[in-house]
């Protein structure tokens, strides 16, 4: 593992999971069982193997549901909890978690999305570009659930296009390398959307880059994908 490889991750795990209520009525969606284990456990296992040594969990909704998970998956520590007293939006949740993190650069993950990315490649790309934030982008075909990210010849993000039907395109896979120290210096509101208010605004002022990672990706946001992941467990290991 390279000395430049990111070693610390923030996981957004406070989502309400309203679209999954029919399948998982009483749990945050990242805690939905997959093969008898919480979905988020596959994420932490994968990234721990990749080199992440500590995790900060941004929790809100039903945070008590994570107690058994922490006892089983982090019996000797290596994690911290950033608990929202009230909903902060994805941006506010990340910023609060950033105050508890220690590394200059952190990995930011969505707890309800599994994206098999190369952490060393992301770390090297992010450092080489001197990026404020680097997005991992997934190539997709024939989709309408996601917006599209456009880049210039230097792989800098120049535009976010709205959700609609696309024949093909690069989507934001919900995995980011973030300059934590620079992010905390930003003048941002207490409650904000990381995607809308940080990534999409002032693209000409911030150094936002996109790295294509064409590997397994699943977003647990809807019941159909929750059903699909049950038969794709081998992809999570």
Q: Residue 181, SS3?
A: helix
For residue 200, the model assigns a pLDDT of 95
For residue 64, the model assigns a pLDDT of 86
Q: Is the whole model's pTM more than 0.75, yes or no?
A: yes
Is the pLDDT at 21 greater than 90? The verdict is no
DSSP designation for 63: G
**pLDDT 10s digits, 23-46:** 555 778 888 889 999 999 999 999
Strands 208-212 and 133-143: parallel
For residue 27, the model assigns a pLDDT of 76
For residue 60, the model assigns a pLDDT of 87
Q: What number is the average pLDDT over the span 114-140? A: 98
For residue 96, the model assigns a pLDDT of 97
The Cα-based distances of 223 to 19, 154, 161, 173 in angstroms read 7, 37, 25, 19
For residue 237, the model assigns a pLDDT of 83
Provide the β-strand partners of residue 133.
Answer: 178, 208
Q: How does residue 15 score in pLDDT terms, banded at 50, 70 and 90?
A: low
**Residue with more model confidence, 30 or 80:** 80
Quote the tokens at residue 177: 């390398």
For residue 221, the model assigns a pLDDT of 73
Measured distance CA(135)–CA(81) in Å, rounded: 24
**pLDDT 10s digits, 90-110:** 999 999 999 999 999 999 999
DSSP letters along 91-146, please? HHHHHHHHTT--SSEEEEEETTEEE---HHHHHHHHHHHT-SEEEEEEEEEEE-SS
Q: What number is the average pLDDT over the span 78-97? A: 95
DSSP designation for 215: S
**pLDDT 10s digits, 203-231:** 999 999 999 999 999 998 777 888 888 88
Q: Please name the residues in contact with 226: beta carbons below 8 A apart, sequence gap of 6 or more.
A: 20, 23, 24, 32, 220
| Domains parsed from the chain with CATH numbers | 8-235 (3.90.550.10)
Q: What is the residue-averaged pLDDT of the chain?
A: 92
Is the pLDDT at 4 greater than 90? The verdict is no
Q: Please name the residues in contact with 202: beta carbons below 8 A apart, sequence gap of 6 or more.
A: none
Provide the β-strand partners of residue 178.
Answer: 106, 133
Measured distance CA(61)–CA(121) in Å, rounded: 33
């Amino acid at each position: 593992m390279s000395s430049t490889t990111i070693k610390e991750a923030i996981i957004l795990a406070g989502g309400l999971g309203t679209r999954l209520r029919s399948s998982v009525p009483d749990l945050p969606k990242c805690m939905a069982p997959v093969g008898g284990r919480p979905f988020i456990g596959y994420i932490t296992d994968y990234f721990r193997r990749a080199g992440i040594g500590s995790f900060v969990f941004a929790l809100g909704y039903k945070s008590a549901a994570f107690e058994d998970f922490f006892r089983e998956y982090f019996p000797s520590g290596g994690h911290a909890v950033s608990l929202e007293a009230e909903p902060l939006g994805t941006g506010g949740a990340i910023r609060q978690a950033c105050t508890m993190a220690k590394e200059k650069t952190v990995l930011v993950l969505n707890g309800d999305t599994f994206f098999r990315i190369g952490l060393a490649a992301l770390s090297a790309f992010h450092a080489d570009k001197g990026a404020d934030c680097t997005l991992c982008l997934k190539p997709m075909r024939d989709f309408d659930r996601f917006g599209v990210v456009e880049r210039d010849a230097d792989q800098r993000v120049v535009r976010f296009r709205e959700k609609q039907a696309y024949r093909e395109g690069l989507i934001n896979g919900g995995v980011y390398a973030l300059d934590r120290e620079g992010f905390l210096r930003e003048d941002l509101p207490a409650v904000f959307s990381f995607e809308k208010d940080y990534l999409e605004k002032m693209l000409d002022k911030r150094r936002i880059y996109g790295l294509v990672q064409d590997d397994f990706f699943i977003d647990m946001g809807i019941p159909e994908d929750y059903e699909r992941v049950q038969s794709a467990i081998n992809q999570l290991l």
